[in-house]
Amino acid sequence: MKAVICTKYGPPEVLQIREVEKPFPKDNEVLIKVIATTVHIGDTKIRRFEPGLGPVEDFFFKPLMRIIVGFTGPRKKILGMELSGEIEATGKNVTLFKIGDPVFASTGFRFGAYAQYCCIPEKGILAIKPVNMTHEEAAPISNGGITALIHLRRANIRKGQKVLIYGASGSVGTYAIQIAKYFGADVTAVCSTSNLELVKSLGADKVIDYTKEDFTQNGETYDVVYDAVGKIKSSKRKKSLSKSGHYLNVLSPKGNIKLKVEDLYSLKQLCETGNLRTVIDRRYPMEQIVEAHRYVDKGHKKGNVVITVEHKDKI
């Protein structure tokens, strides 16, 4: 099968498409024919070996990261954290899925989604794909959507709260707007000029153009400030919080989340009831994975960048 291999840390050009052995599912695993994956920010940070937590945090975290991920290059050479596709085969003990099921999944730090086929435990972060979504639309939900949901739940988000989402036009941000609105919050979205209409269309009650206004200086306070891109300066993180407010940082080590399949099914339901949709900025074939990573590295993507995976037997 074809897969994208990352043998060392570096720029997008370190990624190479190679022929590798097709995986075989273990007794408790399913083999997924990958139809769509994404260029998730986590993939680009692993590829560059840049945690991006801040100078001090990175200094202490990088040694640990080398132990976990790999010293001179990723230990698991096939990156990719999100996917959608079809069940190709099942292990002998699998009971939750059958061949042909359309599914979407998060591989997390198991990676492996940058390939034509990927094995995942049946009790992993794996669910039947929303019936009203394409594979391209479903793939990003399995990580970006869950991240937004879990973080907002930590703040006990509820009706009537004032929530500010910084970096609202990114993958996590676009999902966070919709999830916060679903829970009844009053949402202020912070993004650049070109993305104001996008975040309005997702339900934001108010918008702030960060190129023209510093939200920490406008006198407003919020019950939740969610930094969905990890770029709010530490000196400003608490200026706009109410006395009992919650500050959430998508990149904070303290904000590490444990993905649960129940959350994936919750998001599936939101999608199927029309309360959650995926924003796709660009689509690239797997053969253009370098160009896709190069684009995401610029830091200006709107929503998600999707990778489509071709198969010879596709009609």
Q: How is the chain split into domains, by residue range?
A: 2-143+259-308, 147-255
Query: What six digits make up the tokens of 219?
Result: 């006198």
**Residue 208 pairs with which residues in a beta bridge?**
190
Asked if 224 and 157 touch (Cβ cutoff 8 Å), the reply is yes
Q: What Cα–Cα distance (Å) separates residue 71 from each residue in 13, 64, 120, 162, 293?
A: 19, 10, 25, 43, 21
Q: How far apart are the first and last CA of the chain?
A: 18
Residues constituting the chain: 315
Q: What Cα–Cα distance (Å) separates residue 149 from each residue in 175, 206, 261, 276?
A: 8, 20, 12, 11
CATH classification number, 147-255, choose in 3.40.50.720, 2.120.10.30, 3.90.1210.10, 3.30.565.10 = 3.40.50.720
The pLDDT profile of the chain, 315 residues, written as one tens digit per residue, is: 999 999 899 999 999 999 999 999 999 999 999 999 999 888 998 999 886 555 545 555 567 666 767 667 888 999 999 999 999 999 999 999 999 999 999 998 899 999 999 999 999 999 999 999 999 999 999 999 999 999 999 999 999 999 999 999 999 999 999 999 999 999 999 999 999 999 999 999 999 999 999 999 999 999 999 999 989 988 888 889 999 999 999 987 655 678 999 999 999 999 999 999 999 999 999 999 999 999 999 988 999 999 999 997 543
Query: What six digits make up the tokens of 58?
Result: 């990175």
Amino acid in position 272: E
Topology (CATH) of 2-143+259-308 = Quinone Oxidoreductase; Chain A, domain 1 (3.90.180)
Q: Report the C-alpha gap between 163 and 205 in whole angstroms.
A: 10
